[in-house]
Structure 1
Amino acid sequence: MTSLPADPAPFYAAHVFVCTNERPPGHPRGCCKDKDAEKLRNYMKVRAKELGLGGVRINTAGCLDRCELGPTMVIYPEGIWYRAETFADIDEILETHVKGGGRVARLMLQPEDGPPPAKA
């Protein structure tokens, strides 16, 4: 049996993907862009630099398929999903999760939180 090579070290200490997807007006699932996701992502990028969080990358993501729950983001390497609506939410995620390694339980999304089952 051949062994697999070891995984390389992560390129970033934390890689945050913030959904900024836009759906057509009136779409029943809504979209993160209409919930100020771009403004929140931009703030998060600036704030991470202000906090001196090296090795952290904040990126735009297309649809993360949790539209009804947005604005949403996922942080790797842990794969923790959050819903953040305010600058204060972003500050708490950066301080507690990204900087401190903890979790912001009140903002975390669980797998059962979305999206709803497709209609038949």
Structure 2
Amino acid sequence: MHVYLYLISATYVSAKRSAALARGLEAAAPVPAMAIRLEAEGQGLWAALDALLVRGASRIDLRPVGMPFSQSLEKWLPSAAGAWLAQQSGSTPELFFASSPEHDAATVRAIARAEVSLRRIGEKPAGEMGKGWDLPPAHRHHLLVCTGPRCHVKDAPNLADALKVEIRRAGLSDSCLVSTTGCVFPCNAGPVIVHYPRGDWYRVADLSDIQSFVATVLAKGGRLEHLIFHQTGVSHEPA
């Protein structure tokens, strides 16, 4: 069975809007299809490939969705898919990686000429100022949670949501500011949570690690040395 796997790269887009695009792509595809988001939430690339293999896929075309699509992702995604392929045993599907849509002149022309609804914009003094954007909320812990595509692929697509659930369960919501980020660079050590003001960088691989992090680090003020791989201010370069 020939299938399409659409790879949506969409930072700062709500889960609802991303899901609507995914449904539209799957419905319009000329072959059976699945669409996933590379950042933030939902099924990761490897998990999606596992699911398509179970469904009987013999050929999977990975089709990037984004205008323009990240050049670094274009280079990395085929390698990440190849890593999945190397882990398989028995019969495996053929994998292909499609060019990004902006390389197709007809697609760019269609977007440029699309008939879209318009809203008139009037004057609004200080319109760039948002409500409640004056000061950061009160907090004792600032947690930077990487939701970039390389952490996402390592079976941690809902890391930020799981962390927030555990923080609420521990009654610590008022003392924790959770900020999701794009790539923080040590992708090979991910999934990554950076804890300030201490500056400890944690590799948090699963729900058990998240629960331990909340119970030990946030609730008790301790540290999980076995999960820390770097500290801000401590060079990771050899002397």
The residue correspondences of 1:24-103 to structure 2 (distance < 5 A) are 31-53=150-172, 54-103=174-223
2:134 maps to 1:15 = no
Post-superposition offset of 1:37? 3.4
Change (3 A) 1:64 1:47: same
The number of residues matched between the two structures is: 98
Structure-2 residue corresponding to 1:7: none
Q: TM-score, normalised by structure 1?
A: 0.73
Residues 109 and 90 of structure 1: is their aligned pair in 2 closer, same or farther, counting only changes over 3 Å?
A: same
Structure ranking higher on relative contact order (CA contacts 8 Å, 6+ apart): 1
TM-score by length of 2: 0.38
Q: Select the structure of larger CA radius of gyration.
A: 2
Deviations 1:62-104 (A, max 9, x none): 1111001110110111111100011110011111111111100
Q: In structure 2, list runs of 5 or more residues that go unmatched.
A: 1-136
Give the superposition deviation at 1:114. 6.5
Give distance in 2, aligned partners of 1:60 and 1:36. Answer: 17
Deviation at 1:113, TM superposition (A): 9.7
Q: Is the Cα–Cα contact under 8 Å of residues 32 and 71 in structure 1 kept in the other structure?
A: yes
Amino acid at match of 2:141: A
Structural RMSD (CA): 2.2
Distance 1:40 1:99 in 2: 18
Give the drift of 1:61: 1.1
Q: Which residue of 2 aligns with 1:110?
A: 230
